[in-house]
Structure 1
Amino acid sequence: MKVYIGTGGYTNEDWIGEDLLYPPGTKQTDFLSIYAQHFDAVELNSSFYGIPGLKAFEGMAKRSAGRTRMAVKLNKVFTHDQTPQDSDFDRMLQSPEPLREAGIMGPYLAQFPYRFHRTPQNRKYLQALAERFAGHELAVEFRHQSWDKPEVREGLREFGLIWVSPDYPPVAGVPEPSLHVTADVAYLRLHGRNSGNWWSGESAAERHDYRYTQAEMDEWAAKVAFVDGEVDELYVFFENTTKGHALKNIPMLRQALIAQGIAVTEPKPLQDSLL
């Protein structure tokens, strides 16, 4: 099992500073090249707000020097508006081609909102979406607990979809923090456990304001070890990027995985690293 570990996005202003990822004065255009020297995976968030064109993805592949796998989040028209046109599918499927050519294309990520319950209408929509993305790895995150059922995961398995295993705060209405496998690729998103802000937080930064303990990382490492041998690849993404929490948690998880006998690759900085 190859394990890829990274964060949700790489453009974080609060990662700039002494003893952080980006040295003081770093320009945003240099973020990815520095990020790729330390992490072998990243979720691209920009595609959720606007689907980048070929040149944008070409630039990402170049700046990452082919070192970092990139999971591409589906644009909100697919998951939140649920009104995609043929042109949206064409652009979403074709624009990341430079990532495929560079060998760094990870799964697509369909992040559905909490209001996307398991209803007949939504089940039909998901099936239609899966058919349009057939032949591509598509990971699906459900935030409402109505989807957290064995029969749903069996359905995803039949369609070749990847169940996103989430770690949410211990609040009512969300899926349980378990690692499930429905394809040759597994996908884990760690959102933090800030129960107080999960529903009331005014921003994603507030909701994800949480730093995991070593004990919590040990728990997830044990779950990963349990599925070792069942999958070819595992993607682990930390969404608690605010205040640099993810930067502190990733080494903790790496340590916990190594203790479980799981091989983890830590990218080595290039010779011209700014760090």
Structure 2
Amino acid sequence: MRVYIGCAGFTNDDWAAPGLIYEGVKKDAYLGAYAAHFDAVELNSSFYAIPGLKSFEGMVRKTAGAVRFCVKLHKVFTHERAPTDDDFDRMLQSPEPLRDAGVMGPYLAQFPYSFHRTPDNRKYLGMLTSRFAGHELAVELRHASWDKPEVRAGMAEQGVIWVSPDYPPVGGMPEPQVHVTGDVGYLRLHGRNRANWWEGQSASERHDYLYNRAEMDEWAEKIALVGGDLSELYVYFANTTKGHALKNIPMLREALNARGVPVRTPEPPDEGRLL
């Protein structure tokens, strides 16, 4: 199993704080600095506007082909749920430079908590997955009504990746387990900020959480158990607030290596300013 570990997004101004990886780095150089530390990234900007071909070409150039990109679907697919044929065409065609460079990971469809398992929503999800047939698609379903073996069995039949999540223990959402529906796994660690998950005014507040070592050991154990079932696993930390993810990723790498799950760690050129 090849494990790719990175963050949900890379344009985090929090990381320009003293001692963190963007200290003294200009914004247009953030992605290159990110690539010195991580081998995968979840592209958040595509949720708000689908980048064009030249933008994706620039991403490949800035990372020297060393970073895998998982591209989040635009909100028209997951939150508005009214995509046009043109939306599908752009979403499927624009990342072609990533495919050409061999650095395209799965698409990510991140549905909101309000997307319950109803007949209409099941029909919509079936339509969406059929339109992305032939491409790896990872689906995050935040409402607990989807957290059922029969749902994952159906996703496995369709070649769709179940996104395994770690949410705060607030109830009503899927349990924190690594589930396998194919050769590729996908894990998103949101942090466990129970107080701000519903009440937080922004994603930054909701993801303001630093995992402790025991919690990283817990996830390393769960990942090790499925190591023989997967060819690839993508692990993304969404707790990017205040650089929490930058501290947690080395913890998880160490915990995985200790359990016989090899993880590649990029070697930054500036060893004096690491995480």
**TM-score under structure 1 length normalisation:** 0.98
Cα distance change of structure 1 residues 37 and 163 upon mapping to structure 2, 3 Å threshold: same
Is the aligned partner of 1:19 residue 2:29?
no
- The within-5 A match list for 1:82-161 is 82-161=81-160
In the alignment, which residue of structure 2 is the partner of 1:57? 56
Shift of 1:272: 11
**CA offsets 1:172-206 (integer angstroms, 9 cap, x no match):** 11110000000110000000000000000000000
How many pairs align?
A: 274
In the alignment, which residue of structure 1 is the partner of 2:2? 2
**Unpaired runs of at least 5, structure 2:** none
| CA distance in structure 1 between the partners assigned to 2:23 and 2:118 by the alignment | 48
The alignment partner of 1:251 has SS state of helix
Q: Is 2:9–2:43's contact at 8 Å kept on the other side of the alignment?
A: yes
Root-mean-square deviation (Å):
1.4
Q: Is 1:169–1:193's contact at 8 Å kept on the other side of the alignment?
A: yes
Q: Is 1:34–1:273's contact at 8 Å kept on the other side of the alignment?
A: no
**CA offsets 1:191-229 (integer angstroms, 9 cap, x no match):** 000000000000000000000000000000000000011
| CA distance in structure 2 between the partners assigned to 1:133 and 1:191 by the alignment | 26
In the alignment, which residue of structure 1 is the partner of 2:184? 185
Cα distance change of structure 1 residues 272 and 101 upon mapping to structure 2, 3 Å threshold: farther
Q: Is 1:37–1:273's contact at 8 Å kept on the other side of the alignment?
A: no
Q: Which amino acid aligns with 1:77?
A: V
**Unpaired runs of at least 5, structure 1:** none
Report runs of 4+ in structure 1 exceeding 2 Å deviation. 269-275
Cα distance change of structure 1 residues 65 and 272 upon mapping to structure 2, 3 Å threshold: farther
Q: Identity, % of aligned pairs? A: 68
**CA offsets 1:102-126 (integer angstroms, 9 cap, x no match):** 1110100000000000001000101
Q: Is 2:69–2:105's contact at 8 Å kept on the other side of the alignment?
A: yes
Q: Is 2:20–2:273's contact at 8 Å kept on the other side of the alignment?
A: no
**TM-score under structure 2 length normalisation:** 0.98
